[in-house]
Amino acid sequence: MRRPAGVLTAVFFLALSAAGQKAEIWLTTSDRRALLEPQAPAEFARERKPGLPAVIVADGTAYQRIEGFGASMTDSAAYLIHQRVPAEKQQEVMEWLFDFRKGIGVSFLRNPMGASDLARFHYSYDDLPPGQEDMRLERFSIEHDRADILPLLKQALRIHPQIRMMGSPWSAPGWMKTSGSMIGGSLRKEAYPAFALYFRKYVEAYAKEGVPVHYVSMQNEPLYVPKDYPGMPVTAAEQIDFLKNHLLPELDAARLSTRVLVYDHNWDRPDYPEQVLADSVIAGSPRVAGTAWHWYGGTAGAMTRVQQMDPKRGQYVTEASGGTWIEDQVKADFEAIIHSMRNFARVFVKWGLALNEKRGPNAGGCNTCTGLVEVNEQTGEVKKTIDYFTLGHFSKFVRPGAVRVYSTNAPGVITAAFVNRDRSRVLVAFNETKEEKRFQVEWRRRWMELALPPLGGATVAWQQGIEPPSPQGTPRAERNKKPQFVIPAADQPILASNYTSLRELRTEPCTDADGGFNLGYSAAGSWAGFRNVDFGTGVSVVDVRVASAGTGGTLEFRLDKPDGALIAQAPLPVTGGWQTWTTVSAPVTGAAGVHDLYAVFTRQGGSGGLANLNWFRFRNE
């Protein structure tokens, strides 16, 4: 395999000389000197190299089923690819996007139901003159989509028949709203039945065109009302009413297979989907598939909180735009996608498939967003953006139907691991630091030595001849299984993000020296569990990396269960900030051999958050 011209030798992975199973590797770096570039293969060896941190891949512990990675077929994207790209180039561009071998294999598409902030003009599927209504939707039409959107969706399905698709409205037709316009205003109560019928007609019309719609959400970003493009506020109570009394019965009556995703907004308001999913009718409906999320606020850890509340349903990241406001798109994308996968996301969807050289066109909305490809409207030239390559590290290699499996992070290195239906294994790793990181991938008692360049991300893929594991609803469901790994207690710091079970905590991006994800949102009684920690013949001290702008408290370490034998109590001091880190130490007694370990947050009185936890390390003095 070729190496990218001009990339320093230090960026390349190390191929071991020992005979063993080979892994193929692809690399992207933040300096963009390597963009999804194939590297020299590496090999698994049967001996571990002492002194290097380990990234453990334990494919006996499985989590969510992956449905796909992708972007949105907006009005602007479809127009650019269908009308501005020369006819002789269009098939090649579509293969860049949707073919696994020739491109990145996009496998999930979000389709705005009408105009969005990436549309050339404002439109719905039932536009009327001012003062008119159409409660029976006799003038409903998807004619707009037949020009550009549907031809490209059909072409994409020919290239990649496994594509899953979701429909989301940015607004109901204006006549259904208090404003009489798609901009501003809320859905009138008397229009709820008509809006539910609007969804049914959309799904049925698309089905007649040979394009199945697998999911819909009631409203894009229901907690935000834009001033210059379509939008519509919807409270959680209003969404409950609309779903259980109108949309779900309408879809049921039509016997459609389309399922519903609730919420469809940022990670910072998990209380919204929790309220919707707590309704007894919605909770009892098999048509409700899960929660749709965006990445513009909060932390991906919110998805695990909702997953634990309702493990029968899934988490879907349905919009995560790249843009000029992001300082390092490579770092941001690897972090966000890995973090999302580690918090039960079944899909990860960027924003527009294509934008022009001015990051448009649109009639109000985002002029700073980036698509997967850039189309020059004047020349028809098409360029792959950085978003194309970062998403490709996942979409090209993690196929629909794959299962995420347990993998650990290492100091400075974050990871997500998967098993495909064809039995191939995939590990995506990113170096959070500005220094080269050397580490070992440990898998089934074999070790592969790798070196990641500064701010570099890689996909590592290899074959293994056993059936993929069955997914489980939540890490807590795994606690009665014996993972195929042990964590040496006194070898390296144990990162808090390497938990195997969790209660009332969330991971969030960490600004400590090696980056990664810390555990936050702690309260008295919160805990994180770690399977099979090997204390050897015993340890005497634990060092704990903590930060707090709250009340502080105590971190108890207990064996085998959250209220098991107490081996250490480390103070949680108030450090002056949730990302102001310090290391504290405490004596350890009674820890030897292999045990499950629980880190339990406690305090004496007070209220509010306790502290954030980055890592802990056991040692002997």
Tell me how far the alpha carbon of residue 26 is from its chain's centroid.
Answer: 20
Tell me how far the alpha carbon of residue 354 is from its chain's centroid.
Answer: 21
User: CB 548: neighbour CB atoms within 10 A?
Assistant: 24
pLDDT score for 3: 35
Q: What number is the average pLDDT over the span 164-172?
A: 98
Position 559 confidence tier, pLDDT thresholds 50, 70, 90: very high
> What DSSP state is assigned to residue 471?
P
Position 605 confidence tier, pLDDT thresholds 50, 70, 90: low
Structure tokens at 14: 């190390």
Position 10 confidence tier, pLDDT thresholds 50, 70, 90: very low
Cα separation, 430 vs 414, in Å, equals: 5
Cα separation, 271 vs 276, in Å, equals: 9
CA distances, 525 to each of 178, 420, 533, 599 (Å): 46, 37, 21, 10
Residue 216: strand, helix, or coil: strand
pLDDT score for 470: 55
pLDDT score for 483: 47
pLDDT digits over 269-315, tens only? 999 999 999 999 999 999 999 999 999 999 999 999 999 999 999 99
Structure tokens at 105: 């294999």
pLDDT score for 15: 36
Domains defined along the chain, listed by start: 9-65+403-478 (2.60.40.1180), 68-395 (3.20.20.80), 487-619 (2.60.120.260)
pLDDT score for 21: 83
Which class for 24: exposed (0-12), middle (13-18), buried (19 or more C-beta within 10 A)?
middle
pLDDT digits over 43-66, tens only? 999 989 888 999 999 999 999 999
**Contacts with 380 (C-beta within 8 Å, 6 or more apart), sequence order:** 84, 85, 86, 89
Choice among 245-249, 383-387, 465-469, 576-580 with the minimum mean pLDDT:
465-469
- Full DSSP string of 536-573: TT---EEEEEEEESS--EEEEEEESSTTSEEEEEEEE-
Cα separation, 37 vs 12, in Å, equals: 11
Radius of gyration of the chain (CA): 25
Is residue 18 over pLDDT 80? Answer: no
Task: Give me the residues paired with residue 520 across strands.
Answer: 506
Q: Name the amino acid, one letter, at 15.
A: A
pLDDT digits over 561-592, tens only? 999 999 999 999 999 999 999 999 999 999 99
Q: What is the dihedral of CA 353, 330, 409, 570, to 10 degrees?
A: -110
CA distances, 562 to each of 525, 526, 538, 565 (Å): 9, 9, 20, 9
pLDDT score for 606: 65
Q: How many residues does the chain have?
A: 621
Q: For residue 303, what is the enclosing H or E element?
A: helix 301-309
Cα separation, 505 vs 518, in Å, equals: 10
φ/ψ of residue 286, rounded to 5: -70, -10
Cα separation, 370 vs 385, in Å, equals: 8
Question: Smallest Cα–Cα separation from 89: which of 528, 435, 382?
Answer: 382
Which class for 2: exposed (0-12), middle (13-18), buried (19 or more C-beta within 10 A)?
exposed
pLDDT digits over 62-81, tens only? 999 999 999 999 999 999 99
Answer whether 590's CB lies under 8 Å from 620's CB: no
Is residue 392 over pLDDT 60? Answer: yes
Choice among 13-22, 360-369, 430-439 with the minimum mean pLDDT:
13-22
Position 20 confidence tier, pLDDT thresholds 50, 70, 90: low
Across the chain, mean pLDDT equals 93
Question: Smallest Cα–Cα separation from 533: which of 571, 501, 572, 508?
Answer: 501
Q: Name the amino acid, one letter, at 307.
A: Q
Residue 337: strand, helix, or coil: helix
Report H helices in 124-235. Answer: 143-147, 149-159, 192-208
Structure tokens at 390: 């970062």
φ/ψ of residue 246, rounded to 5: -135, -65
Position 479 confidence tier, pLDDT thresholds 50, 70, 90: very low
Tell the residue number behind the tokens 């707009």, with chain if given. 144
pTM metric for this prediction: 0.94
Cα separation, 364 vs 9, in Å, equals: 46
Q: For residue 494, what is the enclosing H or E element?
A: strand 494-495
First vs last C-alpha separation in the chain = 48
Structure tokens at 164: 């899953």
Question: Smallest Cα–Cα separation from 294: which of 329, 269, 265?
Answer: 265
Structure tokens at 218: 């009631």
**Contacts with 545 (C-beta within 8 Å, 6 or more apart), sequence order:** 493, 512, 581, 582, 583, 613, 614, 615, 616
Q: Name the amino acid, one letter, at 261.
A: L
Is residue 6 over pLDDT 50? Answer: no
Is residue 17 over pLDDT 60? Answer: no
Answer whether 291's CB lies under 8 Å from 273's CB: yes
Q: For residue 248, what is the enclosing H or E element?
A: helix 248-253
Choice among 218-232, 288-302, 451-465, 468-482 with the minimum mean pLDDT:
468-482
Position 217 confidence tier, pLDDT thresholds 50, 70, 90: very high
pLDDT digits over 491-500, tens only? 889 999 999 9
Is residue 186 over pLDDT 80? Answer: yes
Cα separation, 398 vs 68, in Å, equals: 8
Q: What number is the average pLDDT over the span 505-513?
A: 97
Choice among 375-379, 477-481, 496-500, 594-598 with the minimum mean pLDDT:
477-481
Cα separation, 430 vs 459, in Å, equals: 9
Q: What number is the average pLDDT over the span 363-369?
A: 93
Tell the residue number behind the tokens 């709203």, with chain if given. 177
User: CB 60: neighbour CB atoms within 10 A?
Assistant: 14
Residue 271: strand, helix, or coil: helix
